[in-house]
Amino acid sequence: MTKTWLVTGTSSGFGRELATLLAQQTDVNLIATARKMSDLDYLDNFDHGQIAKALLDVTNVDQIATIVNLAQDRFGGLDVLVNNAGLGYFATIEESDDAAVRHMFDVNVFGLAAMTKAVLPIMRRQKSGTIVNLSSALGLVTLPTMGYYSATKFAVEGYSEALQQEVADLGIDVMIVEPSGARTNWAGKSSQKDVPTIADYAQFKDQVAGTNASAGSEPGDPEVIAQLIFEQVTAVTPTPKHLPLGHFASAGSQAHLTTLLAEIKALSSLSDSADHA
C-alpha cells in the first residue's frame, strides 16, 4: 500500500538522502520540503507524479498549515512525518549568544513540536502514523561546548518519550533517531561557532575553532543513516522507540547511562527519604 511521507529539511544531509531514497520507491508519495525551492531540483530526476515539493521553514506556522493541507488534499492523508530540520551551535554555556540559542530552540524544538501538533489530528483520524524525530547522540550524552545544542536534543527526547506514551493506543508510533557525527552540512554551515574568549575556557578553543576544518570527516554516512531510518519505519515491527546510530551514540550513551544508573542507585535510600513517611 502506498504511504505518504513528509520530510523537513531535505535540502541537504540526512533529509536529502532520505528524500532521494523515498523518491525512488514506487509505493511512496513524498512531500519534500526546504527553505529554498531550488534546493529541491535534485528530485526532478525521480518525479513520476508522486512527489510534491514545497517551501517550509519550520518556524513559519503559515507554511506548516499549508504543507499539512497539501498532504491532505493531494495525497489524502499522511503516514510518516520525519522531523529532520535542525541546526547546531558550538560555544561554552557562559559564552553562548542568547539570540543564537533561542533561534536553535525555535528550529530544533518548537519547529519540530509545531509540525507534530499539525499532523497529529490527521494521524489520529487515520488511527495510524509514524513520527520520526531527529534527536542526536548528543540528546543522550553531552560534551563541553555542546551544552545548548544538547539541551535542544534532550528536549526532543523528553517531548518524544511523553508523546510515545500519549499516542501508543491511537495507532501512532514515535521513533527518536540519535545519530553520531555524520558527514552533512551540520557541523559546517549549519552551525554557528563562538570560539571561547574567556581565558578560563581556553582548553575548549581548539575544539570550537577546529570544527569547520574537521567537518566532512565525521564517521557517520548519511546515506546509510537514511537507509536505516527507512528500514526501521517500513520493515520493523514494532517500530523502535529509540534508534541510536553510530559507535558514539551506542558506546557513548551506554557509558553515560551506566554511570548515571550507578549514581542513582547509590542514592536510592536518600532519594526515597524525600517522600512523606
Ligand X SMILES: NC(=O)c1ccc[n+]([C@@H]2O[C@H](COP(=O)([O-])OP(=O)(O)OC[C@H]3O[C@@H](n4cnc5c(N)ncnc54)[C@H](OP(=O)(O)O)[C@@H]3O)[C@@H](O)[C@H]2O)c1
The nearer residue to ligand X, 23 or 182, going by C-beta atoms, is 182
Q: Identify whether 117 is a catalytic site residue.
A: no
Residue 189's φ and ψ, nearest 5 degrees, are -75, -15
Q: Identify whether 148 is a catalytic site residue.
A: no
CB 129 within 8 A of CB 119: yes
In the list 85, 91, 146, 208, the residue contacting ligand X (rule: CB under 6 A) is 85
* 14 binds ligand X per the rule CB under 6 A: yes
Residue 160's φ and ψ, nearest 5 degrees, are -70, -35
Secondary structure E strands in the chain: 3-7, 28-34, 51-55, 80-83, 88-90, 129-134, 172-179, 191-193, 242-245
In the list 134, 151, 155, 233, the residue contacting ligand X (rule: CB under 6 A) is 134
Report the distance separating Cα 251 and Cα 257, nearest Å.
10
* 15 binds ligand X per the rule CB under 6 A: yes
Element (DSSP H or E) covering residue 88: strand 88-90
The nearer residue to ligand X, 13 or 129, going by C-beta atoms, is 13
Binding track, positions 240-259, relative to ligand X; x by CB under 6 A? --------------------
Residue with cell 541546526: 87
* Binders of ligand X in range 39-78 (CB under 6 A): 56-59
Tell how strand 172-179 and strand 129-134 pair up.
parallel
CB 61 within 8 A of CB 269: no
Query: Which amino acid, residue 260?
Result: L
Q: Which one from 135, 150, 180, 191 is the annotated catalytic residue?
A: 135
In the list 154, 186, 201, 230, the residue contacting ligand X (rule: CB under 6 A) is 186
* 81 binds ligand X per the rule CB under 6 A: no
In the list 29, 84, 96, 253, the residue contacting ligand X (rule: CB under 6 A) is 84
Q: Which one from 89, 148, 149, 159 is the annotated catalytic residue?
A: 149
Query: Which amino acid, residue 141?
Result: V
Asked if the bond preceding 238 is cis, omega within 30° of 0, the reply is yes
* 136 binds ligand X per the rule CB under 6 A: yes
CB 176 within 8 A of CB 161: yes
Q: Identify whether 269 is a catalytic site residue.
A: no
* 13 binds ligand X per the rule CB under 6 A: yes
Q: By CB under 6 A, name the binding residues for ligand X.
A: 8-9, 11-15, 34-35, 56-59, 84-87, 107, 111, 134, 136, 179, 181-182, 184-186, 190, 218
**Active-site amino acid positions:** 135, 149, 153
